[in-house]
């Protein structure tokens, strides 16, 4: 995401760029531990773009 210009990563923060605003949910999903731990066999989460 950083390579694509969607986020800017520094020592203590991750900032979503204007270009990345449409992908905010995708960025947040990376940090969703509950979703990673409970990967169901079928999709129960909304699709992202």
In this structure, how many other beta carbons lie within 10 angstroms of the beta carbon of residue 7?
A: 20
> In a 3-state reduction of DSSP, which class is residue 15?
strand
Render pLDDT for 1-49 as a digit per residue (tens, 0 to 9): 999 999 999 999 999 999 999 999 889 888 887 766 766 666 656 666 6
Check residue 39 and give its pLDDT: 66
CB 32 within 8 A of CB 46: no
Check residue 34 and give its pLDDT: 72
Residue ranges of alpha helices (H) inside the chain are 24-29, 33-37
């Amino acid at each position: 995401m950083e390579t694509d210009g969607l986020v800017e990563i520094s020592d203590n923060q991750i900032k979503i760029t204007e270009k990345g605003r449409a992908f905010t949910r995708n960025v947040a999903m990376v940090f969703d531990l509950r979703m990673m731990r409970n990967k169901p066999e079928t999709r129960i989460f909304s699709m992202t773009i």
